[in-house]
Amino acid sequence: MPILPLTSPSYPNHNLSGTPMSVSNRVPLIFRRLHRFQQMDFELAFWQLSYLCLAPKRVYRNVYYHKQTKNTWARDDPAILILLFASLFVAAVAWSIVYSYSPLQAVRLAFVMILRDYLLIGVLSATLLWFFANRVLVSPSSHSSPTDSSVEWAYAFDVHTNAFFPLYLTLYLAQLFLLPVVLKDNWVCLLLGNTLFAQYIYGVYLGLSGMQALSLPLHLAANFFTFSSAILDTLGNIAGPIITTICELCGFVIGFPRCKTCSERVLRFIKHCIVQETDDTLIAYSSYFRSRVFSPVTATERLLNSLLSVCDHRISSSIPVIMHIAQAHVERAIEQIQHKKPPPDIDFTQHVLEDGNTISTQERVVKDVQAPAMNVPTDAQFFSRQDPTKPDVAFLKNHFYREGRVTEDQAIWILEKATALLRAEPNVLQVDAPITVCGDIHGQYYDLMKLFEVGGSPADTRYLFLGDYVDRGYFSIECVLYLWSLKIWYPDTLFLLRGNHECRHLTDYFTFKLECKHKYSERIYDACMDSFCALPLAAIMNKQFLCIHGGLSPELNTLDDIRAIDRFREPPTHGLMCDILWSDPVEDFGQEKMNESFVHNHVRGCSYFFTYQAACQFLERNNLLSIIRAHEAQDAGYRMYRKTKSTGFPSVMTIFSAPNYLDVYNNKAAVLKYESNVMNIRQFNCTPHPYWLPNFMDVFTWSLPFVGEKITDMLVAVLNTCSKEELEESDEENVVSQVAHPEEAVERRKIIKNKILAVGRMARVFALLREESEKVSELKSISGSSKLPYGTLALGTEGIKDAISGFEDARKSDIENERLPPELFDAEEAKAYLAQAQSGSLPTTPADIIESPVSPISRAVDRWGLHARHSRAGMVGKLRLGRR
């Protein structure tokens, strides 16, 4: 059983050098600092006094920190003594006012309370405890734990101080009002009197048993009890304070052992051996004995046998009769133990929250949120029972909704089966009405389920998707696998076009590749890339509308130009295939103040802006009614552009089907339903979805700023354990210490000061990281990569908040990520290119560049510059192509 704290070998508890100690060094440090008010921490002392009454264990927990920082268990701050003296003086004044004492009597009462009741009894109690602990209670040190096993006298006095303050409240304040009640002879008053003194013993017990430095063997406890009991017999009529102190020590040993079987026998022993009426002095202090025996106690068999042997010795000696008042209390306690109810069984399947609600520990707290699916489906679950050659789309829908995953072979089977169907389709599809046209999805699987609720079941509704199924959202692979499964089931009624994000370049830069590797493997990612290259590029709806992902191109004159494209490849950075995936209408579409039909698209970093004039000319040239596109987020989910003069129908329509894009745009989504020459727009809002940290970050990486801040706080606390005065003060308790030169002392203080300042700066940096970490992560979610929009961090905290405060602000903050990302090439490939450039073997004319098969870099040499950069892992190995 852990009982007493020990001094460290480095603490000067003994005079090891043989040099005589000065008188001042023998006086505890807490008394020598009584006159240094500027060094006292009254706030900490007031905190300790408060918790001594409310939760005394917290005060003793603070002893561990004091030991680690000051290398001593005892206090060195006398602030608690000053506050205790002041409290006793206030109590003396209160007693004097209530009982009409003269000023001289009031001063005398104050001195009695402070000097006799607190200091004199405290010195005596601490000395006895210190003596008995070092002689009887302390286990001898062993080779496995060769520690100094001496108990500090100053700590014994601290135990008395901690136990005395609650006693002061009850003895001098509570009894000021309860004295008429305590003096009455009935069981309620006896119970109240016992309670007033019991807390002092509890405080002493906490001080003795709260440390984890020493174990007290049971036979030593019995020996200590025997020794204390013998002193109690011999002292007899000695003054009350001495008897009180011994009773406290005996009460500690008997009152707090622990067992479940021997309570009654121990109480009977206490009844016959401890509670004795030796003379009138003991009768006067009977309340101390009553407080020891009133509470039920327990013990082990070994301790019980030792105590019973003492009982035989006590009975054989000439001992007066038992105190009748205490005997009644002991018998009542024995009766209570005999009829004590068994302890209730604790149901660990139930937990009570702070608000009082009870929840089951075997169920989810939020029951309306399903638990993620942990098992991959078997082939029997994966394939449909109606047609074993097709996947079970109903099962996959629910399985993906619960964040479930399929096996890699099953995912590959879906991708290859659908790719074969997509590869057989032409570049330009011919689709008939009725049909529902959908815009960008961007990995928002839960909103895709909402889309099918609004647009209709794929089994009964013809669908045309305009591309951008992946990236930015964190459920892209689920969207791909589910849509591709629907394509297998409904190849003639569900059509999928290619978007600008269906390529290696963007999926590597944004989140799709990372998601595939996190949830499956790079094998799945490569299969998706092969499938994306098979997607058609455009569709003619009802022979009236051109449906594409991006927009028009200066190289697009007729639909045959699209049909002539080799689509089974990665999209280039210029040309017709690039333009129909990347181009946009100009911002002031229909009110342009320019004569050009196409202008450079500075927002995308590639392709063009096309004007109202270019759109009208293309529609007239191909006898079409309108252009339906996606590619741009819209606040309302759709946008109708200026109508053509010849038909009065909008020349361009934009559809966007990802609500609350990136979880910050707060936009609506829309689908276009065309039936019986009537066009309807169906809008819908976002659906709640499971949360992922940005870029599939784990919680440990996310918490690094928080951990760093706490570590620096601890370092600052360690370095600030000694105040400036304490650093300048000589260590008076060191027996022998070599006096350092003044220059060395100044240099040492300077080094410590610099360390504190350095750690303080680190703490401020980590605090800034912690405060802005969440906002930065939100912007990373917007960007969909490990990069932030350019210049965002330079705006500070307020700039980060403003950057995500609405649709327009979110769109402006995200505009950097609408650009064509920089291209990455392996360092070895770049080295080969640079070597060829130095040797003069590279082609020089544009025609030669296009036809050269040497490297993809050579095809862009006239339009791009090379800039070396590091990969995200910090390894040199890639080159970044940046626009000149």
Query: Of these residues, 501, 549, 631, 689, which one is catalytic?
Result: 501
Rounded Cα gap, residues 425 and 411, in angstroms: 22
pLDDT score, position 827: 56
Rounded Cα gap, residues 802 and 789, in angstroms: 13
352 bridge partner residues: 358
Contact call for residues 179 and 186 (beta carbons, < 8 A): no
Cis before 434 (ω within 30): yes
Rounded Cα gap, residues 314 and 274, in angstroms: 9
Rounded Cα gap, residues 84 and 75, in angstroms: 14
132, 149, 150, 226, 358 from 136: Cα distances, Å: 5, 11, 11, 11, 49
683 bridge partner residues: 670
pLDDT score, position 82: 83
pLDDT score, position 479: 98
Rounded Cα gap, residues 626 and 646, in angstroms: 11
433-447 as b/e: b if 16+ CB within 10 A = bebbbbbbbbbbbbb
> Quick one: CA dihedral 802, 808, 814, 815, positive or negative?
negative
pLDDT score, position 97: 82
Cα 554–Cα 881–Cα 790 angle in degrees, nearest 5: 90
Which CATH topology does 408-684 take? Answer: Purple Acid Phosphatase; chain A, domain 2 (3.60.21)
Element holding 231 (H helix, E strand)? helix 218-235
Tokens 């499964």, located at residue: 485
Query: pLDDT tens for residues 491-519?
Result: 999 999 999 999 999 999 999 999 999 99
Domain boundaries, the chain: 408-684, 696-728+741-783+787-818, 823-883
pLDDT score, position 275: 42
pLDDT score, position 502: 97
pLDDT score, position 816: 82
Pairing of β 463-465 and β 435-438? parallel
Three-state secondary-structure class, residue 738: coil
Query: pLDDT tens for residues 91-131?
Result: 888 878 877 778 888 888 888 888 877 788 778 877 887 77
Closest CA to 152 of 176, 131, 174, 170: 131
Query: Which residues of the chain are under the pLDDT cut of 50?
Result: 1-23, 142-148, 208-323, 730-740, 784, 786, 797, 800-801, 844-884
Rounded Cα gap, residues 42 and 30, in angstroms: 14
- Number of Cβ within a 10 Å radius of residue 51: 17
What is the C-alpha end-to-end distance of the chain, expressed in Å?
77
pLDDT score, position 40: 80
Rounded Cα gap, residues 216 and 132, in angstroms: 12
Residues comprising the chain, all counted: 884
pLDDT score, position 803: 52
Identify whether 501 is a catalytic site residue: yes
Q: What is the 3-state secondary structure (H, E, C) of 258-321?
A: CCCCCHHHHHHHHHHHCCECCCHHHHHCHHHHHHHHCCCCCCCHHHHHHHHHHHHHHHHCCCCC
Tokens 């073997």, located at residue: 841
pLDDT score, position 10: 38
pLDDT score, position 174: 62
